[in-house]
Amino acid sequence: MESTVDLRAALREKFGYESFNPGQVEVISRVLEGEDTLAILATGAGKSLCYQLPALLFEGTTIVVSPLIALMKDQLDMLAQLGVTSTVALNSTLSEDQEIVAMERIASGQMKIVFVTPEKLEDDAFVSLLQQLHVPLFCVDEAHCISQWGHDFRPAYLNLGKVIKQLRNPTVLALTATATPAVREDILLQLGIPHVKPIVKGFDRPNLQYEVRRAESEAGKLKMLKDLFLKGELDGTGIVYTATIKNALEVQQYLHDELGLPAAVYHSKLQKHDRTAVHELFMQEAIRAVVATNAFGLGIDKPNIRFVVHFDLPGSVEAYTQEAGRAGRDADLSKCVLIYRMSDTRVQNYFLTGKYPDIEEVQKVFGTLEIFGEQEGGVSLTDLRKITQLPLTKLKVVLALLKKGGFIENGMRSKYVLTDAAREQREMVLNLANYETKKKYDQSKLAMMLQYAETTGCRRRFILNYFGEDYAEVTCGACDNCLQGRRDFTSSGYRIADVVYHRKFGQGTVERAEKDLVTVLFPNVGYKTLLASAVSREAGDAKMIA
């Protein structure tokens, strides 16, 4: 076992830091003792150190699964600056020659850290190579992507539990900044480490001031944004998030024309060199704001972002806190302002409609696999997309649902084939109702986001409760409601994470409890806000409650 003193010495020697952030020592100590760990650490809390330090202290090769190629590059660059060069990243940006070199370096057994995308671990040949190595630690970054309840669900993550077994069960470290109690449970289940007690740290960011403004029209929203800048309520450089590219362009144009404000626009349809140019302007503070869709922000390492304004209602509290949490990572006072109108929910509902497949689309994918699945070890994602003509996001959702149901599996070289079970239970596959549950759940997350916007209680408590943390203070003294002296906190008699029962919805977990209301997450219907008297601690009692 490593003592805290040893860890501090190792931290100083390997990274040149004098002290740890909250939660880091606890996570690293657990990992070094060989204990499987799930750590939910707020954005900016230094998650990467939790695997980097153990990886450098362990004998052997640590595997780090990351969904973001840009973040892999940042990690490699940062480690290289510290003189750590025994690292390699495998992802889709490598040429064939580069991949051969990377594979040879990995096969040598001399690498301390190998960064891989989850898709790469669907390649059996690559997993066979890893089986020849000593792998002491298997780290899953952005672990919420493995959960169908997570906001960035990534189908390839579903394979990781199998890979961990194939690598003879190394110590598992799962890291994420946004995981509600239900998502945590799902992560542990999918990774095959169900009895791990999560470490939850640092969701309370005392330097962030939360504020919400409701407008009656788009013009009203623009005026509110203008007032924020004109009245000097937004200092320094920051981000204005919009739900659509159209809104991003309009808001940037408005700031330029009305205020002469230097602002750039950023979205997924920009050419790579334009994206890089905006990123550099922002980092150098040559502009006051980037007006962007949620494509902007991942991997942005700028500690002094002074404000994050949301011009439209985001789709979930997870998405909101992840984006707003990019402000003030230097611990100085920063503003997180949400401007919304009720009709914003229409845009998010439209996104949801486009995201979920209908039964014909499931049939289309299933039929394609039935016809072509026997050829050359299955059908690739590219070919499936060409044949079915489905949008990539939707196709991935269908594949994820089929995979989770045990109806398809990966053949050779990341191709998909039907399982024997699917051929035997054809009707069952085509009546796939799973995504209806997911759709209801996501709609209920949108309802929770609206609840955050409309709460008259402490907004900090709302966010902490949502992520399963209690908040005992009567007032945070920093959100708009607390600053206005609103008091809206009396106990309902329930606590966060209590298991309760409802006559109609069955068993659920308490996610919020305020006054005489409880918000409960039910597996089949998502979040429901109910009178506290409508639920019970005992299954039998719930039957008696109306």
d(CA 529, CA 520): 6
The fold of 353-436 is: Arc Repressor Mutant, subunit A (1.10.10)
pLDDT confidence of residue 434: 59
As a residue count, the chain comes to: 546
pLDDT confidence of residue 490: 60
d(CA 128, CA 3): 36
The fold of 490-546 is: SH3 type barrels. (2.30.30)
Q: What digits encode the pLDDT tens for the residues 167-215?
A: 999 999 999 987 877 788 889 999 999 989 899 876 788 999 999 999 9
Nearest to 414 by CA among 72, 92, 64, 68: 92
Beta strand residue intervals within 254-333, DSSP E: 263-266, 289-292, 307-310
Beta strand residue intervals within 95-203, DSSP E: 113-116, 137-140, 171-176, 199-201
Nearest to 146 by CA among 131, 164, 133, 129: 164
CATH superfamily of 4-201: P-loop containing nucleotide triphosphate hydrolases (3.40.50.300)
**pTM value surpassing 0.75:** no
- 490-546 matches 4-201 in CATH topology: no
pLDDT confidence of residue 488: 62
For 406-445, b/e burial (b = at least 16 CB within 10 A) is: ebbbbbeebbbbbbeebeeeeeebeebeebeebbbbbbbb
| 512 φ/ψ angles, rounded to the nearest 5 degrees | -145, 150
Grouped pLDDT means (10 residues each) for the chain, 546 residues: 68 89 92 95 82 96 90 88 93 89 96 94 93 97 82 79 95 89 87 91 86 96 96 95 95 95 93 90 95 82 93 92 90 96 85 73 86 79 90 82 77 78 68 66 88 92 85 88 78 78 89 81 84 84 48
Domain borders along the chain are 4-201, 208-341, 353-436, 490-546
Q: Do β-strands 416-418 and 408-410 pair in parallel, antiparallel, or remain unpaired?
A: antiparallel
* Angle in degrees, 0-180, between the axes of helices 96-107 and 124-131, rounded to the nearest 10: 30
pLDDT confidence of residue 121: 93
Q: What digits encode the pLDDT tens for the residues 88-102?
A: 999 888 899 999 999
The fold of 208-341 is: Rossmann fold (3.40.50)
Tokens of 216: 């009656």
Element (H, E) at 259: helix 245-259
